[in-house]
Structure 1
Amino acid sequence: MEGKRKRKLSVAIITFNEEKNIGDCIRSIESVADEIIVLDSLSTDRTKEIATSFSKVKFYESPFPGHVEQKNKAIGFCSNDWIFSLDADERADKTLVHSIEAFLESEVTTVDGYKIARLTYHLGRWIRHSGWYPLRRFRLFQRNAATWVGENPHDYIELKPGSVGKVMKGDILHYSFTDFSHQITTINQFSSIVAYTRYAKGERFSLSKTIFKPFGKFIEIYVFKFGFLDGIPGLWIAIASAFSTFLKFAKLYELDRKQIERPSNIRKEYGKN
């Protein structure tokens, strides 16, 4: 099948203690990959052992300066012009794999990147509303036409001006949280990163935003983004999103009042290039 291809594909994955996820992630995409770059930020579990058991994997290690920075670094290790980016807790579904294979076999294209929908499994069901789906973002792209940008940890691929993008059929399946407790732990960590990043950029605490922004976030997720159609999980997601918004401002308060220099749950190397 690979003999029919007009172009080669690199897959880029960043990891940290992903022994439970990395094997399934690689297996979902290895049939269309010419190489799989795994950039690990010094895991202490079996991530390296599992990843390097796959013949197509090229494994690298580097301290973790931030999501945007690490994903751009992973791109730098790729040797092919076309790159597909996955997180370790994501999988390419069969439709997406077929779409990628068809693209690799197609004639020369003027497209520089493809947006792909992501479908998240949480609280016992696939979440199809609440602003979580389809949430199409560029994931398959030409390396010279794209870069990772955004506010850590909420990164995304941005194509250069004048580039052409299209939508690709298929979903990235996202197994983001093992349970609600895991989601709360992630919210706590990510809100620390956002507060720390925003403070470093000059943003300061606002009491009015702390009061009103969480309420607005709940209405946005549950009503305007149809979270109520996701049942009880949709309600939990809306409440958790509002709580996450509150935490960002509460932690900004700590930083602004010099009560802390950085949130205690951020890794020491974070923010250091």
Structure 2
Amino acid sequence: MAKRSRISALIIARDEARNLPGCLASLGWADEVVVVVDAASRDETLSIARQRADRVIVRPFDDFASQRNAALDAANGDWVFAIDADERATPALAAEIRGVVADQKAPHNGYRVPIRSEILGRPFSYSGTQDDRPLRLFRRGRGWWFGTVHETVSLRGSYGTLSQPLLHRTIPTMNVFLSKLNTYTSLEAIEFVRRGRPVRTFDWTVRPFWTFAKLYVGKRGYRDGAEGLVFCALSGVSVAVRHWKHRELVLRAEAQGRAA
């Protein structure tokens, strides 16, 4: 009789005490749950993880890929399933994943998973992440993460796509939206500097308006109501902010170089 494949669910978390219990509750079907907690967490994230997860790692945040790879290194399952603290695995998705990993002749080493988002308390159908299908399920030893901000999986072998979505309850309030905007734009600006990307006026003047138009008109974000308008507008603002922060970092470095 063939040995049953085991699944490790991997989560990275910082200040996720509000979201983590619901995420963990949606993973009762997993054989192992590994949580990597940012050492800078200021709420009850760590205690919640220690109460409910099988394995908890505390490490200082360096970048998202490194956090996820730390969870991957600690996992024991034959397959790994990556999920964020503000996401939920539905019973239908759990059943589909179980079916895939149970197939000893599964044709792929990894699977993309559709995302269904709720933003500012409203389910989005047009301008959110409903077209996203990140690679979240793969055979352990066949994939790893790379990228400091918008990390992705480097997979050895082919991938398929699951039909059942993850539920993503992201950005519940304006305060959270603005906090995430500030955090991610800073990380993106640092990454631009690391890669030696040149500062271009186009990026912080024209590109933000193009981003808004692409989401609000091209993807019909106007059909997501007032929340869609705000999401599309702030998505454009975030583009301007990250490129302006990039400009600030470059100008500061140039000034320091002249002063040295």
Shared fold per TM-score greater than 0.5: yes
1:166 and 2:160 are equivalent in the alignment: yes
Gaps of 5+ in 1: 262-273
Show the 5 A alignment for 1:7-18. 7-18=5-16
Aligned position for 2:123: 126
Look up the match of 1:66.
Answer: 63
- Alignment check: 8 A CA contact 1:128 1:134 kept: no
Residue 77 (str. 1) matches residue 74 (str. 2): yes
1:181 pairs with 2:178: no
Counterpart position of 1:265? none
Corresponding residue pairs, total: 254
Q: Does 1:229 align with 2:223?
A: yes
Equivalent runs, 1:95-244 vs 2, <5 Å: 95-150=92-147, 152-160=148-156, 163-244=157-238
State the 1:166 CA deviation: 1.0
Amino acid in the other structure paired with 1:104: V
Equivalence for 1:49: 47
Q: Deviations over 1:57-107 (max 9, x none)?
A: 211111111111111121111112200001111111121011122223334
Alpha carbons of structure 1 residues 258 and 138: separation in structure 2 relative to 1, 3 Å: same
Asked if the contact 1:5–1:106 (Cα under 8 Å) also holds between the matched residues in 2, the reply is no
TM-score (normalizing by structure 2): 0.91
Q: CA-to-partner distance for each residue in 1:2-60, whole Å, 9 max, x for gaps?
A: x99731001111111211111111110122x1111111112332222212222x52111
Structure 2 CA distance for aligned equivalents of residues 145 and 229 of structure 1:
40
Does the residue aligned with 2:171 lie in a helix, a strand or coil? coil
Query: How has the CA–CA distance of structure 1 residues 247 and 138 changed in structure 2, closer, same or farther, with 3 Å as cutoff?
Result: same
- For 2:178 and 2:104, how far apart are their aligned partners in 1? 46
1-side partners of 2:224 and 2:254: how far apart?
38
- Percent identity of equivalent pairs: 28
TM-superposed CA distance for 1:144, in Å, is 2.1
Quickly say closer, same or farther: Cα 1:155–1:27, change in 2 above 3 A: same
* 1:180-232 deviation digits (Å, cap 9, x = unpaired): 22112211111111001111221232112221111111111112222122122
Q: Is residue 92 from structure 1 mapped to residue 89 from structure 2 by the alignment?
A: yes
CA shift for structure 1 position 143: 2.1
SS of the residue aligned with 1:14? strand
1:5/1:104 contact within 8 Å kept: no
Deviation at 1:131, TM superposition (A): 4.8
In structure 2, relative to structure 1, the CA distance for the partners of 1:116 and 1:5 (3 Å cut) is: farther
Take 1:101 and 1:91, find their aligned partners in 2: how far apart are those partners? 16
TM-score normalised by L of structure 1:
0.87
Instruction: Give the secondary-structure state (helix, strand or coil) at the position aligned to 2:33.
Output: strand
Supply the distance in 2 between the matched residues of 1:175 and 1:71 (Cα, whole angstroms). Answer: 20
CA RMSD of aligned residues (A): 2.1
| Maintained 8 Å contact 1:116/1:139 | yes
CA contact (8 A) 1:122 1:175 kept: yes
SS at match of 1:141: strand
Query: Conserved in 2, the CA contact under 8 Å of 1:6 and 1:108?
Result: no
Deviation at 1:260, TM superposition (A): 10
Take 1:90 and 1:189, find their aligned partners in 2: how far apart are those partners? 19
2:152 maps to a residue whose letter is Y
Where 2:141 maps in the other structure, the secondary structure is helix
